[in-house]
Chains A and B, each alone.
Chain A
Amino acid sequence: MAALVEPVVGGIDPLTPVPHRVVAVDRETSDVVTLTLDPLSEVLVPALPGQFVMVWAFGVGEIPVSVSGVDDAGRFALTVRAVGPVSNAVVAARPGDTLGARGPYGTAWPIADAKDRDVLVVAGGLGLAPLRTAIDELGGGGPRRLTVVVGAREPDQVLFTADQRRWRDLGVDVQITVDAASWRWDGAVGTATDVVARLGAAHDIAFVCGPELMMTSAARAAIAQGTDPANVWVSLERNMHCGIAHCGRCQLGALLLCRDGAVVRWDRVVELLRERGR
């Protein structure tokens, strides 16, 4: 999808979902789809790369989902894996169905800080979704050098393969690794951390998103290569309910992640993440 647009249709009650029509459903893997939503009434402020919306499946419930694409007509994309009642209902939506959405919420990847710098992006599994628009922006120019490492369970679980081809055409170094594969696979087999460790170069800034264990491991590998911990950014997910820092459901230490995250600086959360069960 194309670049971000001018904001804003304002004045929307932050807790009231705005109805959107599902206009496209693209199957990414066996249990992940990308839905394109078109506003039926008000247009939400376009999400910055890394921000999320609260999505309503009417009659079932509401969940936070990162925005994986935006266009200048107020449409946006969500890439969702079916894991429970609400995400199953969202994944089951068909073109013409209506879903609610409110937001966008949370912090964004600091794209401006990446200008003229060596940038590393590491995405594990569905973690590529909140990074997709960031890579689109970065790939369009800005960084001196952009390396994208994508990790997935198996080759058929790799998301956004068409985007990856496009990013490569833009000069982005895209490296894909999977946990296991047949011979036909021409990428690496191993963890995203292995790839980061093999890069053998310090990056000025790193954006990391994926399951927490993978993020922790990849962030440490980037730091071991010489990236300043203050320039490593991760996206943290906790159960979120209100999206506007009222309910406290997503608290991590002094942070309310729906407002102060999901994108946070590594050095601000590393100690919090070390505490069991947080």
Chain B
Amino acid sequence: MNDTRTGDIRQALGEHDFFAAMDPRHLDTLAQMSRWSDHAAGSWLACAGDAPDSFHAIVRGRVGIEITATGRAPLVVATVHAGDVVGWSWFIGRQPWQFDVVALDDVRSIALDVNGVLDACDRSDDLRDEITTRLLRVVADRLRSARLQLVDLYGRAR
């Protein structure tokens, strides 16, 4: 899928850290289900409970993973930066978005169609393995960070 106004999405996928060194055939497949997605600062990429239609490979800007609870100000608990992806619950039984995702800057992402990717994984075990391994790495990093954040690292003891 070529978008002459905004650059070659296949090339952008290949240059994105999440897809680094992926088999070019898989990148060709994924490019067919990808589109550019632009979000003004302050707008939402997804809201908790939304059906999982796409996940985003961030190309420019920061997004915040945000928790909103009644009676409390919304809290950003993680920022996701260029080179990373946001959204992985879709991969586990097409679960809906678990948190709000807000653009903290003007954000450009590559939005990958979740149904298309899952169908492609059904057709190729190798692609499924690739996506599983890469998403697992993201989940492991987020889990490590969440655990460290939980213990109030910087609190009383230094």
In the complex, number of A-B residue pairs with CB atoms less than 8 Å apart:
86
Count chain B residues whose beta carbon lies closer than 8 angstroms to a beta carbon of A.
27
What is the chain A residue whose CB lies nearest that of B151?
A213
CA of A27 to CA of B64 in the docked complex: distance in angstroms?
A: 30
Whether A191 pairs with B76 at a CB distance below 8 angstroms is no
Q: A183-B102, A237-B158 are in contact. Are A189 and B151 (CB under 8 A)?
A: no
Q: A182-B74, A189-B78 are in contact. Are A125 and B148 (CB under 8 A)?
A: no
Q: A188-B62, A194-B141 are in contact. Are A211 and B76 (CB under 8 A)?
A: no
Q: Does B11 contact A (CB under 8 A)?
A: no
Contact code string A77-97 (vs B, CB < 8 Å = 1, else 0): 000010100000000000000
Contacts of A231 in B (CB 8 A): none
Chain B proximity of A58: nearest CB distance (Å)? 24
CA of A99 to CA of B130 in the docked complex: distance in angstroms?
A: 62
Within 8 A of B (CB), among A116-165: 124-127, 151-153, 157
Interface residues of B (CB under 8 A from A): 42, 62, 64, 73-79, 81, 83, 102, 104, 141, 144-145, 148-149, 151-158
What is the chain B residue whose CB lies nearest that of A154?
B154
Binding site secondary structure of chain A: mixed
Count chain A residues whose beta carbon lies closer than 8 angstroms to a beta carbon of B.
32
Whether A180 pairs with B76 at a CB distance below 8 angstroms is yes
Extra contacts, 20 of them, besides A81-B156, A152-B154, A183-B102 (Cβ < 8 A), are A126-B158, A127-B158, A179-B77, A179-B154, A180-B76, A182-B73, A182-B75, A182-B76, A183-B64, A183-B104, A188-B79, A189-B64, A189-B76, A190-B79, A191-B153, A193-B145, A194-B145, A210-B153, A211-B157, A217-B144
